[in-house]
Amino acid sequence: MSKELVYNNTVINFEAERISLTDMWRAVGGDQNKKPSQWLRTDLAQEFIAFVEENSKGAYTHLSIVETKAGVGGGTWAHWQVAMAAELNTGLAGIYETQRGKCGGMT
């Protein structure tokens, strides 16, 4: 079941331990140069995803850390740790931490 928080009058959806990077990107104005798909192509993003996977002790695979969904409600979804790294790229620094209590269940 998807939950949500609101930032800049934009709904940011999350489910379980993943949050919508696409919603986060839209909430800060949707700069085309900072699209989630662009950020995910960077070496830094790939290294961080590998770090999360490696340190999860088998709990997560690359595919469960980042997922792209098509259609209504689609977009790029990522584990909250990756979302925190992505928010630094999008200009959303701090929104996750300030809203974390509303997210419930993210560890």
pTM: 0.73
Res. 1: pLDDT tops 70:
no
Q: Tell me the C-alpha to C-alpha distance, in Å, between residue 106 and each of 30, 45, 66.
A: 25, 20, 15
List of domains in the chain: 3-101 (3.10.260)
Helix or strand run (H / E) with residue 98: helix 95-103
pLDDT at 105: 45
* Residue carrying structure tokens 């140069």: 33
Determine the residue type at 38: Q
In angstroms, the CA 100 to CA 107 distance is 10
pLDDT higher at 80 or 75: 75
Res. 2: pLDDT tops 80:
no
The dihedral over CA atoms of 21, 22, 27, 29, expressed in degrees to the nearest 10, equals 120
What are the tens digits of pLDDT across the range 76-101?
A: 888 887 877 776 655 555 555 555 55
How would you list the strands of the sheet with 3-7, edge to edge? 3-7, 10-15, 18-20, 75-79, 66-69
